[in-house]
Structure formats: C-alpha cells, structure tokens
C-alpha cells in the first residue's frame, strides 16, 4: 500500500509541468560597464518636405495644357510653361470673341473642337487666377468690386436714414398740424359760445325792454282814456 502511494506521488511529480513547480533562483552573470559594448549610433535621416521633392513627370502629360507654353524652344520641363502671365503678354495673345455669323460657317466638328478649346482656355485662366491668389498677388478688380459694394451699402444706409428722417419729420409735422387744428377748433368753439351767450343776453335785454314797454303802456292806458273822453265833444241833440 505504501509502495503504491509513493509510485503515485512520483508519477504526479513527473507529470506536473515545470512552470508549476517551485525551483530555486539562478544567478545570472551581468556584464560590467567596462566590458559592455557601446551602443551603435544610428545615422540621422535627412527629412525633406514632400512639397520640395521633384518627381519626374512626362513632358507630354495632359495637365501641362492648363499652363501657357512659352515661345522659347530651348526650355524644357516646367521651365517651358509659365504659371501667371503679364498683362502685356495677355494683350498680345488675346483676341476678340467669335461672331455668330462666323460660327454659322463652321461644321459641327469644328464647333465641337472650338468649344473644348475655349473650355480649356477658361480652365487655364482659372488656374492662373488661383495661382496668383495663392502667391498673394492683389486682385485689383476684386478690390474695386469690394469698394463699389461698400459704397453701395453706405448709400443704402444714407437712403434708409433719409427715409426714416422724412417719416419722422412728416409725423412731427402732422402732429403739429393736428395740434394747431385742435387749438383753432377750441378757440372757434370758445368764440362761438361767447357769441351765442352775447346773443342770448341781447335777446333777453330786448325782450325785457319789450315787456317793460308793454307794461308801461298798460299802466298808462286808463289815464289816456279819461283824457280822451274829456277832450271829446258831446253829441248834440237834434
């Protein structure tokens, strides 16, 4: 029985993995500073901006059509094209627009070709304009348009201010006129009331005088009859 237990323990210890068993620490030899090798120096890599790198491009590439080609045949590559043009060269190369009478004489193929030539010319001019903007060239036309737009805004502000002042002046004038009319009506009403009151008083005095005259006549009527009877001769008998 004891031998069977020992055999089981030995078999279990043999089957147990090494990382699960406990072992003593081992001494590792550490090289000294004097005998250690110096670190290898890495070569510094020169960092270049991707914008400054020159990539070889086919000289017959289609994108070169968006730039004006110079007349010098000795130039090659990017030097054969100019990004922006001077006003003098633009005046020399720029002509007039096509007339409708001239275009009517062209075939459909010629019109189709001319359409895309003009479209490429517009793209070329747009490229020059964008490149000039990127280079910081001042756009005098845009400055003129901005100045004109600001002048228009200032004039509009003055127009609105003038219209507002006219409305305020009209309102004040109407208010003053209404006040004057009100004062005139009040004065006329007072004068009319005074006139009516004087007329009533005049009528009252007149009627009073008439009453007094009537009363005086009535009071003097008996004495008058007696005097008349005394002065009147008596009738004679026949």
Model pTM above 0.75: no
Structure confidence by residue, pLDDT tens digits, 25-79: 455 555 555 555 555 666 666 666 655 666 777 777 777 777 777 777 777 777 7
Cα 147-92-134 angle, rounded to 5 deg: 45
In a domain, 148, yes or no: no
Give the whole-angstrom CA distance, residue 156 versus residue 37. 83
Helices (H) then strands (E): counts for the chain: 5, 2
Give the whole-angstrom CA distance, residue 204 versus residue 202. 5
Structure confidence by residue, pLDDT tens digits, 73-115: 777 777 777 777 766 666 566 678 889 999 999 999 999 999 9
In a domain, 176, yes or no: no
What's the mean per-residue pLDDT of the chain?
75
C-beta separation of 98 from 114 below 8 A: yes
In a domain, 130, yes or no: yes
In a domain, 2, yes or no: no
- Parent domain of 127: 103-137
Q: Indicate the number of domains in the chain.
A: 1
In a domain, 159, yes or no: no
In a domain, 122, yes or no: yes
């Amino acid at each position: 029985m004891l031998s069977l237990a020992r055999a089981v323990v030995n078999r279990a210890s043999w089957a147990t993995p090494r990382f699960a068993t406990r072992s003593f620490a081992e001494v590792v030899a550490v090289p000294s500073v004097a005998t250690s090798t110096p670190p290898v120096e890495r070569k510094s890599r020169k960092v270049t901006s991707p914008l400054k790198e020159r990539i070889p491009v086919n000289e017959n590439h289609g994108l070169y059509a968006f730039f004006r080609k110079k007349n010098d045949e000795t130039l090659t590559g990017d030097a054969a094209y100019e990004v922006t043009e001077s006003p003098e060269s633009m005046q020399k190369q720029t002509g007039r627009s096509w007339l409708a009478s001239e275009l009517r004489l062209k075939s459909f193929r010629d019109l189709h070709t001319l359409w895309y030539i003009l479209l490429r010319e517009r793209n070329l001019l747009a490229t020059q304009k964008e490149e000039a903007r990127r280079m910081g060239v001042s756009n005098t036309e845009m400055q003129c348009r901005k100045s004109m737009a600001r002048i228009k805004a200032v004039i509009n502000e003055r127009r609105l201010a003038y219209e507002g002042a006219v409305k305020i002046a009209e309102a004040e004038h109407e208010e003053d006129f209404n006040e004057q009319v009100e004062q005139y009506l009040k004065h006329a009403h007072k004068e009319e009331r005074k006139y009516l009151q004087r007329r009533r008083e005049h009528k009252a005095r007149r009627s009073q005088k008439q009453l007094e005259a009537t009363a005086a006549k009535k009071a003097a009527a008996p004495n008058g009859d007696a005097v008349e009877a005394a002065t009147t001769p008596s009738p004679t008998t026949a």
